[in-house]
Chains A and B, each alone.
Chain A
């Protein structure tokens, strides 16, 4: 079974450019999460989706960030325009329904991350 797939693994771009990060969740998982990890702030939840619908985007830093999930097997995180302070590792994670129900599984499985450098 393939895990969470993210692309690209590394992205180097100049300030002001648009950046698009991509994620394919584990098949059958109905929750998808986008995180950002930096030394200063640690692991931050940016946004998450349930059944392709954004549920909570309160962690999105500002309007330059947007995320979409057009179908159950694909999500994008876009930064436009990018700034040097956006440099970080961006993780995508997926899980099945988190509720404490029989057979429910709550743990999130993470992709390998995209290391973004904005110069």
Chain B
């Protein structure tokens, strides 16, 4: 079975602070994809990143960075120097190679306070 757990339901931080969103996944497959999506208050779901199970290199994109660790089955997302525009619900997701579907976590609602 595959499963994605985002234990943090809601987080509030003050602007310019760094914040890390946790994601833990379960899968029996050795080949899989991990994703992060952002859902701002406007409601659309925006794709942020995809990693495959063979690539454990951390990724950095501007203020965003992702830490993929197979040893702990985690794919955490860090926002550095947070801004009010980062306020959104963030979803971590998993897909196995043999399956067409993506399984989403419950999401973490992030509030960046001015």
Chain A contact residues, CB within 8 Å of chain B? 31, 33, 42-43, 45, 48, 50, 55-56, 89, 91, 93, 98-100, 105-113, 115
Contact B91 A100 (CB under 8 A): no
Question: Which residue of A has the minimal Cβ distance to B98?
Answer: A99
Q: List 9 A-B contacts (CB under 8 A).
A: A31-B100, A50-B100, A100-B31, A100-B33, A108-B102, A110-B44, A110-B46, A113-B44, A113-B45
Is B64 close to A, CB under 8 A? no
Kindly list chain B residues whose C-beta atoms are within 8 Å of the C-beta of A106. Answer: 33, 50, 95, 102
**Interface contacts beyond A31-B100, A106-B102: sample of 14 additional A-B pairs, CB < 8 Å, sorted by A:** A33-B101, A42-B104, A42-B106, A50-B100, A98-B33, A98-B100, A100-B31, A100-B33, A107-B35, A107-B50, A108-B102, A110-B37, A111-B44, A113-B44
Distance (whole angstroms) from the CB of B8 to the closest CB of chain A? 15
Contact B45 A110 (CB under 8 A): yes
Kindly list chain B residues whose C-beta atoms are within 8 Å of the C-beta of A48. Answer: 100-101
Is B97 close to A, CB under 8 A? yes
Chain B contact residues, CB within 8 Å of chain A? 31, 33, 35, 37, 43-47, 50, 52, 91, 95, 97, 99-102, 104, 106-107
Provide the bound-state CA to CA distance between A113 and B100, in Å.
21
Question: Which residue of A has the minimal Cβ distance to B50?
Answer: A107
Contact B100 A55 (CB under 8 A): yes
Contact A89 B47 (CB under 8 A): no
Provide the bound-state CA to CA distance between A98 and B104, in Å.
16
Kindly list chain A residues whose C-beta atoms are within 8 Å of the C-beta of B35. Answer: 107
Provide the bound-state CA to CA distance between A45 and B104, in Å.
9
Kindly list chain B residues whose C-beta atoms are within 8 Å of the C-beta of A56. Answer: 100-101
Q: Which of B46, B50, B104, B106 has most chain A Cβ within 10 Å? A: B104
Distance (whole angstroms) from the CB of A70 to the closest CB of chain B? 20
Q: Given the interface contacts A106-B33, A108-B47, does A43 sit within 8 Å of B95 by beta carbon?
A: no
